[in-house]
Amino acid sequence: MADGEIGGSPASTDAELGVRLVGRRAGEPPARVLVVDDHRALAESLGLAIDSQHDLHCVGTAPTVADARRLAADEEPDIVLLDVQLPDGDGIELAAQLRAARPDLRIVVLTGHTDVAVLARAAGAGVCGFLPKESGVAEVLWALRTARDGGMVVDGATLAAVLDRVARLRRPQAPAPPGASDLTDREMEVLRAMGTGMDPQTIASRLGVSVHTSRGHVKSILSKLDCHSQLEAVVTALRRGLLPELFAV
């Protein structure tokens, strides 16, 4: 298989991972996805895989920063699957620019990099998470759906390393928006669990509440912190000193 290509077939990988493909929710159109990668074969393969799903739609592929900006403005995707290294610029800077224009845009970084500093920069730019380029098709589809729903696309070990780096490099931020300091005790429990990489289902089990209740707490946290994904919320909370116990900084 050529360098940079996503391996594995959707059917076999789904079976191996036990992935449950979540269908389009009632009344909702397919999530619109823009793929930004200068490996044409990879980008086109991902586009085909995305379009094979009834709840996802690839609005285009972009090999450069300039193309990505144009397509993002023209097509207004819900999710961007974004490479870090592009021929005409830095993918992380592009992520920050795209989210400055549309804060609700979900961005998943597709990368071969394991440099924690690079991943910490991406987290600081507000991405939803990181997906290795060697990921299988089912993992890519899972990541897109997780991003669509505001979740974190990152494994626990990587999350810990990234947050540690963010904590050590944290700088004072602008004052928190109204309500950011009004997290309830239960919401703080949920936020701390999110900081260790738990998803709403795991948090629900840990706290002895329903998944619906857990998701409600997560939604409230995102609203109060003015964030659009769990990873962004954890990074924001860490920078604002809301999680002093998470790391010794």
pLDDT, one tens digit per residue, over 67-88 is 999 999 999 999 999 999 999 9
pLDDT, one tens digit per residue, over 121-130 is 999 999 999 9
246 within a domain of the structure (yes/no): no
The CATH number linked to 225 is 1.10.10.10
Using only C-alpha atoms, the chain has a radius of gyration, in whole angstroms, of 18
Please give the model's pTM, rounded to 2 decimal places. 0.81
> Where in the sequence is the domain holding 133, given as residue range(s)?
27-154
pLDDT, one tens digit per residue, over 176-188 is 555 556 899 999 9
Q: Which pLDDT does position 176 carry in this prediction?
A: 55
| Phi-psi map region of 232: left, alpha, beta (phi>0 left; psi -120 to 50 alpha) | alpha
Same domain, residue pair 147 and 58: yes
16 within a domain of the structure (yes/no): no
Q: Which pLDDT does position 167 carry in this prediction?
A: 81
58 vs 160, residue with greater confidence? 58
Average pLDDT over every residue of 166-184: 66
pLDDT, one tens digit per residue, over 3-62 is 444 443 333 333 333 333 334 455 689 999 999 999 999 999 999 999 999 999 999 999
Count up the domains in the chain and report the number.
Answer: 2
Same domain, residue pair 208 and 139: no
Rounded Cα gap, residues 111 and 152, in angstroms: 16
Same domain, residue pair 143 and 210: no
Which positions ≥6 away from 30 have C-beta within 8 Å?
Answer: 24, 53, 54, 55, 56, 57
33 within a domain of the structure (yes/no): yes
Of 154, 182, 214, the one marking the end of a domain is 154
Same domain, residue pair 55 and 135: yes
> What values do phi and psi take at 135, rounded to 5?
-65, 150
